[in-house]
Amino acid sequence: MIDLRMIIVIHDLKRQGHSVSEISRRTGLDRRTVRKYLERVKCESWKMVVPELVLEPTAFHASA
């Protein structure tokens, strides 16, 4: 199993027009592994989603 960063690298290299063999050479992964992640993980664009922290206004008031 490879991590998300490597999957992003694979897709970025493919988007730049590199072949599966070239991606394999650059990443050190087997061609079949590169092909597997290109086929199984489809990505249109990668976005980092950071949930916003929601606090109640009274959360910081000390009770009397």
pLDDT at 45 over 80: no
For the domain made up of 1-44, give the CATH fold: Arc Repressor Mutant, subunit A (1.10.10)
62: confidence class by pLDDT, cuts 50, 70, 90: low
pLDDT at 2 over 80: yes
List the chain domain ranges: 1-44
pTM for this entry? 0.64
In Å, what is the CA distance from 59 to each residue of 51, 55, 56, 64? 19, 7, 5, 13
For the chain, give the mean pLDDT: 78
